[in-house]
Amino acid sequence: METISAYGEIAEELKRQVRGYKFENRLSDAGRVVACGDGVLTVEGLPNVKNGELLYIGRDKYALAMNLEEYKIGAILLADSYELSEGDIAYSTGKIVGVPVGDALLGRVVNPLGVPLDGGKPITSKKYRSVEAPAPAIFDRANVNQPLLTGIKAIDSMIPVGKGQRELIIGDRQTGKTALAVDTIINQKGKNVVCVYVAIGQKTSSVNSVIQTLKQYGALDYTVVVCSTASESAPLQYIAPYTGTAIAEEFMYSGRDVLIVYDDLSKHAVAYRAISLLLKRPSGREAYPGDIFYIHSRLLERSARLSDKLGGGSLTALPIIETLAGDISAYIPTNVISITDGQIYLESELFRSGVRPAVNVGLSVSRVGGAAQCKAMKKVSGKVRLDLAHYREMAQFSQFGAELDDSTKSILGKGARLTEILKQNQASPVSMSHTVIALTVMMNDLFSDIPVREVNAAMDNFLDFLEANHPELAARIEETQQLSDEDEQLIKEYLAVYKGNVTRIAEDRKALQSGGPS
Ligand code: ATP
Ligand code: MG
């Protein structure tokens, strides 16, 4: 009797174990490469591979499973395909692609797999993050209500960007898109914001010049550059923005403010289209695959401002999109416009006519708006957009050479001076207080006696005069983030003093010239 019961127990135990047995992916799951080329492989076998899983191919190469079919899978190769051939063995790893993250990456240039490209020492970070990660949930987020200053007067005043916002930079080729993003990175110096610049499918020379600019202005120390150039395979270009985001997320989740630039997502879409076509996925509009919207939305949704409970960090995204002949209603531009919280539209025509940065104020918008502006900026910038719109409208009429009345003339004069003051050179960020002071002067029409061409120089001189004689004014605006009525009055008084000085100096010079030896 006893023996039978013992057998019964063993049988029960065996049954229990068989029932509870879980099939796990191990490196020992192997398949065979049956086709490879253009960065795409077809592997037979591996029935348990999951979508997005990392495959290890013989000869020390990795691939990413993308297409799961009944007997074979399509994968993209995360390396050059030259060294692979049909018949190679592919193993599943049960992992997804990860990159080293953390402070060790600051000041470094890495490829989309986290391998250094700057000739420096290998990255020794012990922390890894997978390149794909879910976006923070609604309750993990806080409101976007702190400004992320770009240092560009036209943007900080009219199209404010908040920490945690996604603001698209869109425009034709050579309209200053990269310059705008790089200037924003330069402006973060000393503001405790970590920056990540992701170059996707760009010329090596362009990426190099961005890195040189960052170095020149001391901005590389707090920046990570993730670089996949045009010569790299489509799969590497495709994962570059996700890698950049994973690196940025590490800083965000440790409570820091991060700015990420994706330069640019049009090329990212093209890389994904190439992969999809090679994987023989059905193509849709403009030959892009059906999930092209999803690849960008799941990327940009990862930008957020986290709640205090999660450390209060933020990830602000500046994706860039290149348009063709100003067509913002093409497929990819409309997709990304609808995902982001606003766009900065740069126009070739403005760029050519010397308005740089070439921001088209009418078509640019920030859906976070005034919530991301400090009180001082909000106070002075309220009417700027309206005045500029008014000016543009009047300027069109005045082209017909009609007689202009005085009020039209004053609108035109004010608008022209305002446009002039919003022009800004590359890599010369302007502080919040200086933008506020400049706009206070312009909106109160205090520069109407200065010729349009000289407005910028006059403003620079006035700001220098303030820094030399009354530095407490700008300091107070920076500290309180407000422009009190008294301070506004002070600006007017100081300007009167400054103008008096200028007139006196001019008169003295004239006297000297006429009275002096000829
Ligand atoms: P691409 O389409 O090639 O990526 P892009 O739109 O990124 O071009 P940039 O490379 O940033 O444009 O700028 C194009 C040119 O315009 C560069 O030579 C740059 O130096 C110049 N530029 C950009 N912004 C300004 C500015 N504010 N003032 C003067 N020059 C500028
Ligand atoms: Mg560019």
- SS3 string, 98-163, reads EEECCHHHCCCEECCCCCECCCCCCCCCCCEEECCCCCCCHHHECCCCCECCCCCHHHHHHCCCEC
Whole-number Å distance between alpha carbons of 465 and 505: 14
Q: Which residues lie near ion ligand 2 (Cβ < 5 Å)?
A: 178
C-beta pairs of 132-136 under 8 Å, 24+ apart in sequence: 132/52, 132/96, 132/97, 132/242, 132/298, 133/245, 133/246, 133/249, 133/302, 135/298, 135/301, 135/302, 135/304, 136/302, 136/304, 136/306, 136/310
CA torsion, ordered 230, 235, 237, 242, to nearest 10 deg: -170
The region that residue 146 occupies, defined by phi over 0 for left and psi between -120 and 50 for alpha, beta otherwise, is beta
Whole-number Å distance between alpha carbons of 471 and 434: 11
The label of the residue with tokens 């990269």 reads 178
Amino acid, res. 134: P
Q: What is the rounded average pLDDT of the residues 309-326? A: 97
User: What is the structure's pLDDT at 26?
Assistant: 53
CA-357 nearest atom, ligand 1: 27
User: What is the structure's pLDDT at 509?
Assistant: 87
User: What is the structure's pLDDT at 131?
Assistant: 94
Whether 141 shows a pLDDT value over 80: the answer reads yes
- Nearest alpha carbon to residue 225 among 79, 116, 100, 80: 116
Whether 28 shows a pLDDT value over 60: the answer reads no
User: What is the structure's pLDDT at 423?
Assistant: 96
Q: What is the rounded average pLDDT of the residues 115-143? A: 93
Whether 487 shows a pLDDT value over 80: the answer reads yes
The label of the residue with tokens 């705008």 reads 180
Nearest CA to ligand 1 atom 8: 174
419: CA distance to ligand 2 center in Å? Answer: 24
User: What is the structure's pLDDT at 194?
Assistant: 98
Q: Exposed, middle or buried, 205 (CB in 10 Å: 0-12/13-18/19+)?
A: exposed
438: CA distance to ligand 2 center in Å? Answer: 29
The per-residue pLDDT for range 349-375, each reduced to its tens digit, is 999 999 999 999 999 999 998 899 999
Positions marked catalytic: 367
203: CA distance to ligand 1 center in Å? Answer: 14
The residues lining ligand 1, judged by C-beta closer than 6 Å to any ligand atom, are 171, 173-179, 322, 356-357, 424-426
User: What is the structure's pLDDT at 311?
Assistant: 96
In this structure, the number of other CB atoms found within 10 A of the CB of residue 88 comes to 18
Band (518; pLDDT cuts 50, 70, 90): very low
Q: What is the mean pLDDT of the chain?
A: 92
> In percent, how much of the chain has pLDDT > 90?
77
> In percent, how much of the chain has pLDDT > 70?
96
Q: What is the rounded average pLDDT of the residues 157-173? A: 97
User: What is the structure's pLDDT at 2?
Assistant: 56
- Nearest alpha carbon to residue 41 among 15, 11, 70, 79: 79
The region that residue 265 occupies, defined by phi over 0 for left and psi between -120 and 50 for alpha, beta otherwise, is alpha
The per-residue pLDDT for range 203-247, each reduced to its tens digit, is 999 999 999 999 999 999 999 999 999 998 899 999 999 999 999
Whole-number Å distance between alpha carbons of 88 and 58: 6
Whole-number Å distance between alpha carbons of 272 and 242: 13
Model-wide pTM > 0.85: yes
Amino acid, res. 338: S
350: CA distance to ligand 1 center in Å? Answer: 13
Which of 28-32, 50-54, 474-478 shows the lowest per-residue confidence on average (mean pLDDT)?
A: 28-32
Whole-number Å distance between alpha carbons of 142 and 312: 8
CA 469 from chain center: how many Å? Answer: 38
Q: Which residues 6+ apart lie within 8 Å of 242 measured at CB?
A: 131, 132, 299
Nearest CA to ligand 1 atom 13: 176
Handedness of CA 267, 268, 269, 270 (dihedral sign): positive
User: What is the structure's pLDDT at 400?
Assistant: 72
Assigned token pair, 118 = 């700057």
- SS3 string, 377-414, reads HHHHHCCHHHHHHHHHHHHHHHCCCCCCCHHHHHHHHH
More confident residue, 513 or 1: 513
CA-346 nearest atom, ligand 1: 6
Output DSSP code: residue 237.
Answer: H
Enumerate the β-bridge partners of residue 297: none
The b-or-e profile of 437-462 (16+ CB within 10 A means b, else e) is: bbbbbbbeebbeebeeeebbebbeeb
Assigned token pair, 458 = 């006059």
User: What is the structure's pLDDT at 9?
Assistant: 84
The per-residue pLDDT for range 75-108, each reduced to its tens digit, is 999 876 677 788 889 999 888 899 999 999 999 9
- Nearest alpha carbon to residue 104 among 251, 245, 206: 251
Amino acid, res. 391: Y
